[in-house]
Structure 1
Amino acid sequence: MPTPYPVPRRFRFYALAGLGLLGLGTVALRPAAGAPDEVIRRLVQGVQTFYADARPEKAYLHLDHDAYAAGETVWFGAYLVDGQQHRPDSLSQVLHVELVSAQRRVVLRQALHLAGGRAPGALALPDTLAPGTYQLRAYTDWMRNAGPDFFYSRRLRVWPAADPAADGPDAKAAEHTTAAAARTEARRLGAPPDVQFFPEGGNLVEGLEGVVAFKAVDYAGRGLDVAGQVLDAQDRPVATFRSTHLGMGTFRLVPQPGQRYRAVVAQSQGGPLVVRLPAAQASGYALHVTPEPNAFRVSIRQRGAPSGQVLLLAQVRGAIGYLGQGSVVGQDEFMVRIPRAKLAAGIVHFTVFDGAGVPQAERLAFAPEAAPLRVALAPDRPAYGPREAVRVQVKVTGAAGQPVGATRLSVAVADAAGAAADAETIASNLLLTSDLAGYVEAPGYYFDDPTAETAGALDDLLLTQGWRRFAWQDVLAGQLPPRPFSAAQSLGLRGQVLTPSGKPVPNGRLVLLRSQPHRLVLPATTDDQGRFLFNGLGGCGDTARFTLQARTARGGANVVLRLDAGPPVSAGALPPLPRLPSPAEAGALRGAQAQVAADRRFRRDTAKTILLGNVSVRAKRVVVPDGRRLYNPFNATVLRLDDPAQMAVSNLTVFQVLQGRIAGVNITGAEPNVMVQIRGASSISGNSRPLFVLDGVPVDQDALTFFPARDVETIEVLKGPEAAIYGSRAAGGVVAVYTRRGSPTYRPSDELAPGIVAVNAPGYACARQFYQPRYDRPQPAAAERPDPRRRTLYWNPDVRTNAAGEAELTFYTADAAGRFQLVAQGVSAAGQPALGRGALQVAPRP
């Protein structure tokens, strides 16, 4: 466990002057009588202990586009940073990426091997993928401890592969799907909006003016413009409100004793919607935070509190930027101005505690980067022709223009049509959405062009959006949340062994077996909750098939194996595609569909290659010989386990089945300490142990220990001259085991014996290279070879700047003309997000 970050010395003694407190207004700050040092120490230590134990991680995916057509490839660069300082790399080395449908099914999944917190990725969308809005999410096993609210997640539109206006079966299917989705959308939009009200600080207090924020969204979390008024119990209007951005806004209210308030919200369809406001408390604390250009102005008042002592703590991802104390008596108002320079960039969590250290009010605000990094992307020319070389100078600088080296970027040069101006970026993710629970609509709006208007909208967002990396009650009580998931360094297989009644099986014995392509036998033992984890299973490539057997500590087979199915899918609804794309999306969609059509016809990486349509081949069925045997099976003594008469023993192991069933084969001892001998077989060296063969491959005896007989087709025994084909190592005879899975006629079955499961374990996603042709030398065939890159001209998931903060990129334009947008995103070695944009024009062929 790492050493907790040091608290700045000016905060160790919590002296009021040392904390930089500044009394504002007519009432000066009053020092508390008898500083609650123990409470302060408990607060600081609680935050430190939580982050030292939690060690949060954040993932981000930079995509080459904001929306796709079915059949396209989603090119992305994956980032994993530590959750506090955002430095590249973290605990984990495995990142899971999933595409989830509106029906909450994972339709695509891959695992990436991270190196230095980075990995390239590519999701090939099948051209048969149903059009709609999907959830793209990424997470590590360690992130599962914090829950899905803190996974990387974004909504991804996938349009049909064919234009619904065109002819053909694909177009008709796409039209049917989008029409059905539009009908569902219309029905859902007919439902009343979800309107909620959030008092600043958490509660309304009678007699104290407070700010009330509100948010109105539809069923999919999209903001809806609303207006209305607040009425008291006597139907008298006391406040009016109107949303200013994506259904959010604020109003002020002074709740009176004994009153209950309700909001009457006007709707575009149907009658008004009536929503009750949270009830006001007779006593409590009112917290008000006003963001200023270079500071936060904080006001604290109280009514009816037993003690006037207050503590104010401001922290950003566990880094305490301010901790002050004072007292608020009667009508007094504790006011302080906190310079933003004391706070790290990101979400500031303000919490008010009473003198006993009990949290009484809290609220979120945002501190922008004081010196953001900028990425300049400068093409060597403003316009190009088809198939011309483009050279782009990349330079990363700080706010003052100084070079920033050692920055890793991902760069996309893609069709500018349909590019969303308010899409998320690495800055909006790391500094904002990764620390918020729930869906944030159009996060790029708050960052792309910062103004007083966007700052106000961002403040409204933080007044209404959830944040719960920890609960103060648990932190102050020293109750750390459970961490059932470890930080994965490699691909693994996890699960739990249970009794048939669902109780954990502690100290259970497991064996994981694989015979091909290389034999593997891994033992394991369950913990006190019956959980297990096998690591080191991953490689780049195809899915590997394993057999997993579990037993109780005493060897009992009546257990249930429950494999980890991954984290649950978020319950939030995903909106369908609109029936027609917006004008901005229409051009991009046409380009995407043309790209898919071209990819169907021409392969990008070969010349003059045309893909054929469906081909039907008819022939007589050929019996495939079983090449696993080096010998004639008629020379062996064969025990067949695919005979129904033998199925009664198939819940045993291979050695249990073999014992006493083949004459001359003696088996003594109990697994895993079994001795096997074949009478009549001998060795000059005196070793009488037979050679063991699994599906034609010689293996150690351990490979067959606890091997489930239910998976076995035949067990064959050879001795004497019949075994000579395996050489001198078979002088003690041969025990050959042939599995049904290895048989050329095997067809998988869902039937498995108790405590035995067949497991398909996918490997890492192999890195794919983005197609980048070169036209720097004469190639006669190139004139006949189409270059169908319409959507993405260039994609590089790993661009590294030198010490001067510079890099150079070279690529070629394609046959398609138009305006292309250059986007670079990344993170510096110090953990600062970096973002830059540029543009280039490609003229049509003369």
Structure 2
Amino acid sequence: MNKFKFLFGVLILIFNQSSVGRNKSFQYPFEKDSLILIEKVYLHVDRENYLAGDDIWFKAYLIDALDHLLTDHSNNLHVELISPSSKIISSRIIRLEGGLGNGDFKLPADIKSGRYRLRAYTNYMRNFSDQLFFSKEITIINANDNGQNEIPDKVKYVENKIIINFFPEGGSLVDNVPSVVAFKAVNNLGMGCDVSGKIYSSDGDLITTFKSTHLGMGIFSLRPSSGLKYYSIIRGADSIDIKTELPTSLRKGVTLSAAIIKDNDLLITTKTNSETLALISEQDMFLSLSIRKEVINTILLRIESPDTSFVVPSGYLPEGIMMLTLSTREGLPLSERLIYLEREAPLKMLIGTDKHLYKKREQVNLKISLSGDSTIDRVGNVSLAVVDETFTNTTSQFPRTISSWFLLESDIRGSVEEPSYYFDPSNPDRVKNMDLLLLTQGWRDFAWKYDTILFPAENGFSVSGRLRNFYKDKPIEGSRISVGIFGSTSSFFTTLPVDSTGRFNLSGVDLTGDAILIVSGIDKKDRMKGLLILDSVDYNPAKVSDSLSLVSVITENKNSKLKSYYIINEEILKKYKLSDTIRIGEVKIISERQKDFQTEKVEKSRLKYGTPEGELIITEQVESYRSLPELISGRIPGVEVLGKYPDFKIRIRGAFSLLGPKGKESGILPLILVDGNPVAYEEINRIPVNFIERIDVLKSVGATSVFGMAAYSGVINLITRTGVSSEIKTPVEYSTNIRFSGYNAPRIFYSPQHLQNSNSDINPDLRSTIYWEPNINLEGTNEVILNYYNGDNSSIIRIIAEGITASGIPVTGKAEYEVR
């Protein structure tokens, strides 16, 4: 569906007590409605409860909020693990490709028990504050906390106080205008609670009664009279009456109501009193229809009677929450109403196993597919988790799903109780109760905060800064910047221009893992020069402003069960002398002394050739040399340096068994490597001597042949020093060498195969997440078959798959079986 072309058809007028006057069809008073791109992200996490030392596995889905299609608007997703004290204790930058990505966290063995949060967002989302961020609470148990548990063993006493709030439909009560008033009653934990009560006027007259119908929510009708105020009386749990004032009625105003009628069309009704009608009957009004703050269309109308109704066809509108706003020509909002447009689920995800009862370590054959409307393109990407029931959310009958988040929770204020209730067709009152929810909790107002984009979409990583004259704050004429990024598997070298102020910027750097970043300022004579001021390469995360919910989703019994599970597992691991990594059946690890980073770098740089034929260690005594060729001259046997700076030519004697084409300069120049990766020859002049830890030289055909014909004149490998830090503290003279981090490479979930006579049968299999597969592509009616083995625990095993189709339909599938 093209998000810029929503056709509404013709506005059908329904004559009730009056007509809509001259409003015969849709009109477009504005040249262009707002269509700001809004991103939403959802994390499918393998489970809700974890033990210290466990792994957290997650899959990310990034969509355009308007049409729910996966988007590549941003490629960088920031995922953070936040402690109960609201501190970021671990973070990941996940590569998103086509809106999809996956990653993991390894929990420390000494992490404290408590309620933690996973938070996910793109840099672009920060333009809308943090209200679009994805947040999920998880529980971590460590039985070895020695009394420092942040989850109490005993449930603390909480006063059972009831708070009730009232919400007139459309926003306000208006004198002498019949209105629907919604209400919501919650306890001190913020959970909905059933109530009943009475409405009285300020004269003491009983006006009506009310009673909640779903999670403390309900509605009643009220026609407020001029000059009177209204209040409610409910009976609390302590048998004390609770009095609450209703919103004050306005003397002038317009109310707006909406309802879903036949064919899912919208019946819009405006109501006003005679005093207001006399003022607005000749004035143009605008009714804007928006999806997630993006105005889809604006209707021009006139209100010429106290009660006006008309129908808006909704066949071309997407599923989800729609906001209706009635405003004056000057843009003054008069009334607002949220309504949910539901489409019958065209697709369902089917999950089935070959059995319902399995033995321990028995193989499971699982099938997954999409079924439903054959006219819908049944293509999608889903992730699947198979988890011991002990570690799943069993306290909520209708927990959050990808559908409830994208279609509901991310669009309204506050936490939603039992969010997937509203998307389960087995609940006959779910549509009516959804309307109650929208009337009481309201729109999540994530209006654009800034006049300009302060937080652009990230597509890779960037290196930026400024180069200036060392002695005065002016740019260097004819200068440029040399940038080298040296990773474990690849290297990148380039030169950048600087602008009139000396600023430079390199964006879109595609890097996975850690690397060394070398940035140097170069003048027009190709000499390193100037004062380099590099911007920070560390991402500055969004402020942690939201807090944990008041309600702990883990009960005392659940807490005790998880602790017991932890203690038993630890005893088994000690008995078999296994590290916590063996819990998921990985290979046995032989303990060895950990190597320092520089030693590991040298070994990785020499993987292709082993021991060099010549080597020069760079010491403090020679770091003052202006260039590497000057340093090399006369210090490595068989290596000759000719010419003057910056036009040095290096020859390696004994490296001419294979000659290049006659007369070609490349026939006498060696291949230059940085950390084992080829770079242009001229870059040897642009790397400061003090950034190099050692220089390897390869001369013979046997040593250089692994690099092909490019190395027939020998090889020089420059092995850099490990960057001390990624933090930029002060300006540096012409060059800097720091650590540079890119995307976090996701680990692959290990699923052991318990075959007969296999070594894996010797050790206990204590997996809590039995199986995790983040990327499953579904197409048509084709079944995808997955195989895995159960562990050693007798338990109910839950299977949860979530994903989204190519047409933007979020899908969820569930199944379970038992292991004895």
Q: How would you bin the TM-score normalised by the shorter chain?
A: 0.7 to 0.9
What do residues 429-465 of structure 1 show as CA deviations (whole Å, max 9, x unaligned)?
2211233354434322322355354334322322223
Q: CA deviation at 1:201?
A: 1.8
8 Å CA contact retained: 2:126, 2:542: no
The one-letter code sitting in structure 2 at the alignment partner of 1:544 is A
Secondary structure at 1:801 match in 2: strand
- Report the equivalent of 1:457: 433
CA distance in 2, matches of 1:708, 1:385: 63
CA distance in 2, matches of 1:60, 1:611: 39
Q: CA deviation at 1:132?
A: 2.0
- Report the equivalent of 1:603: 582
CA distance in 2, matches of 1:465, 1:559: 47
The one-letter code sitting in structure 2 at the alignment partner of 1:5 is F
Matches within 5 A, 1:249-260: 249-258=218-227
What do residues 172-208 of structure 1 show as CA deviations (whole Å, max 9, x unaligned)?
2xx422367989x77xx67988865543223332332
Q: CA deviation at 1:497?
A: 7.0
- Report the equivalent of 2:17: 27
Which consecutive residues of structure 2, in runs of 5 or more, have no partner in the other structure? 604-610, 635-643, 654-662, 696-709, 711-715
- Report the equivalent of 2:639: none
Task: Give the 3 Å change call, closer, same or farther, for CA 289–600 of structure 1 in structure 2.
Answer: farther
What do residues 20-60 of structure 1 show as CA deviations (whole Å, max 9, x unaligned)?
3334xx41433327989452x44xx213xx24xx2x33222
The one-letter code sitting in structure 2 at the alignment partner of 1:483 is I
8 Å CA contact retained: 1:403, 1:805: no
Does the alignment pair 1:301 with 2:279? no
CA RMSD in angstroms comes to: 5.6
Matches within 5 A, 1:503-652: 512-514=483-485, 520-522=492-494, 534-540=506-512, 542-546=513-517, 557=531, 561=535, 565-575=539-549, 578=552, 581-583=555-557, 587=561, 591=565, 598=573, 600=579, 603=582, 609=588, 638=621
The one-letter code sitting in structure 1 at the alignment partner of 2:251 is A
CA distance in 2, matches of 1:35, 1:704: 72
- Report the equivalent of 1:205: 174
Does the alignment pair 1:427 with 2:403? yes
The one-letter code sitting in structure 1 at the alignment partner of 2:757 is Q
CA distance in 2, matches of 1:281, 1:567: 44
Task: Give the 3 Å change call, closer, same or farther, for CA 351–390 of structure 1 in structure 2.
Answer: same
- Report the equivalent of 1:349: 323
Q: CA deviation at 1:401?
A: 7.9
What do residues 339-359 of structure 1 show as CA deviations (whole Å, max 9, x unaligned)?
654532111222223466654
The correspondence for 2:309, drawn from 332, 335, 349, is: 335
Provide the aligned length of Structure 1 versus Structure 2.
750
Which consecutive residues of structure 1, in runs of 5 or more, have no partner in the other structure? 12-17, 163-169, 475-479, 642-653, 665-673, 717-728, 730-734
The correspondence for 1:374, drawn from 312, 334, 348, is: 348
Secondary structure at 1:177 match in 2: coil
CA distance in 2, matches of 1:89, 1:747: 34
CA distance in 2, matches of 1:240, 1:509: 77
8 Å CA contact retained: 1:691, 1:698: yes
8 Å CA contact retained: 1:262, 1:276: yes
8 Å CA contact retained: 2:798, 2:814: yes
The one-letter code sitting in structure 1 at the alignment partner of 2:177 is L
The correspondence for 2:792, drawn from 805, 812, 815, is: 815
What do residues 709-731 of structure 1 show as CA deviations (whole Å, max 9, x unaligned)?
9x769999xxxxxxxxxxxx9xx
Matches within 5 A, 1:380-779: 380-398=354-372, 405-417=378-390, 418-420=392-394, 421-436=397-412, 438-448=414-424, 451-463=427-439, 464-470=441-447, 481-489=451-459, 491-493=460-462, 512-514=483-485, 520-522=492-494, 534-540=506-512, 542-546=513-517, 557=531, 561=535, 565-575=539-549, 578=552, 581-583=555-557, 587=561, 591=565, 598=573, 600=579, 603=582, 609=588, 638=621, 676=646, 741=722, 752-753=730-731, 759-775=738-754, 778-779=756-757
The one-letter code sitting in structure 1 at the alignment partner of 2:350 is A
Does the alignment pair 1:87 with 2:62? no
CA distance in 1, matches of 2:586, 2:620: 56
Secondary structure at 1:116 match in 2: coil
TM-score (norm 1): 0.71
The one-letter code sitting in structure 1 at the alignment partner of 2:91 is R
TM-score (norm 2): 0.73
CA distance in 1, matches of 2:431, 2:48: 24
Does the alignment pair 1:75 with 2:54? no
8 Å CA contact retained: 1:492, 1:533: no
CA distance in 2, matches of 1:182, 1:171: 16
CA distance in 2, matches of 1:92, 1:505: 33
Task: Give the 3 Å change call, closer, same or farther, for CA 85–29 of structure 1 in structure 2.
Answer: same
CA distance in 1, matches of 2:474, 2:536: 11
8 Å CA contact retained: 1:62, 1:78: yes
8 Å CA contact retained: 1:386, 1:817: yes
What do residues 780-816 of structure 1 show as CA deviations (whole Å, max 9, x unaligned)?
5454233223x23222222223432422222222322
The correspondence for 2:287, drawn from 306, 312, 321, is: 312
- Single out whichever of 450-459 and 266-275 deviates more from structure 2: 266-275
Secondary structure at 2:444 match in 1: coil
CA distance in 2, matches of 1:353, 1:462: 20
Secondary structure at 1:444 match in 2: helix
Secondary structure at 2:174 match in 1: coil
Matches within 5 A, 1:84-233: 84-160=66-142, 162=143, 170-172=144-146, 175-178=147-150, 197-215=166-184, 223=192
CA distance in 1, matches of 2:240, 2:614: 82
8 Å CA contact retained: 1:319, 1:344: no
Secondary structure at 1:603 match in 2: helix
8 Å CA contact retained: 1:228, 1:263: yes
CA distance in 2, matches of 1:250, 1:289: 15
What do residues 289-347 of structure 1 show as CA deviations (whole Å, max 9, x unaligned)?
234584544321124153235443434458988865544335x3112355654532111
8 Å CA contact retained: 2:378, 2:778: yes
CA distance in 2, matches of 1:275, 1:327: 37
Does the alignment pair 1:61 with 2:51? no
The one-letter code sitting in structure 1 at the alignment partner of 2:61 is Y
8 Å CA contact retained: 2:467, 2:531: no
CA distance in 2, matches of 1:438, 1:504: 52
Q: CA deviation at 1:425?
A: 1.0
Task: Give the 3 Å change call, closer, same or farther, for CA 198–705 of structure 1 in structure 2.
Answer: farther
Secondary structure at 2:404 match in 1: helix
- Report the equivalent of 2:705: none
Q: CA deviation at 1:757?
A: 7.5
- Single out whichever of 594-603 and 688-697 deviates more from structure 2: 688-697
CA distance in 2, matches of 1:604, 1:823: 22
Task: Give the 3 Å change call, closer, same or farther, for CA 505–424 of structure 1 in structure 2.
Answer: farther
Task: Give the 3 Å change call, closer, same or farther, for CA 574–7 of structure 1 in structure 2.
Answer: closer
Does the alignment pair 1:46 with 2:24? no
CA distance in 2, matches of 1:369, 1:36: 24
Task: Give the 3 Å change call, closer, same or farther, for CA 295–509 of structure 1 in structure 2.
Answer: same
- Report the equivalent of 2:338: 364
8 Å CA contact retained: 2:112, 2:148: no
Q: CA deviation at 1:576?
A: 7.6
Secondary structure at 1:46 match in 2: coil
CA distance in 2, matches of 1:551, 1:268: 77
The one-letter code sitting in structure 1 at the alignment partner of 2:462 is L
Task: Give the 3 Å change call, closer, same or farther, for CA 36–83 of structure 1 in structure 2.
Answer: closer
Secondary structure at 1:767 match in 2: coil
> How much identity, in percent, do the aligned residues show?
24
Secondary structure at 1:815 match in 2: coil
The one-letter code sitting in structure 2 at the alignment partner of 1:798 is N
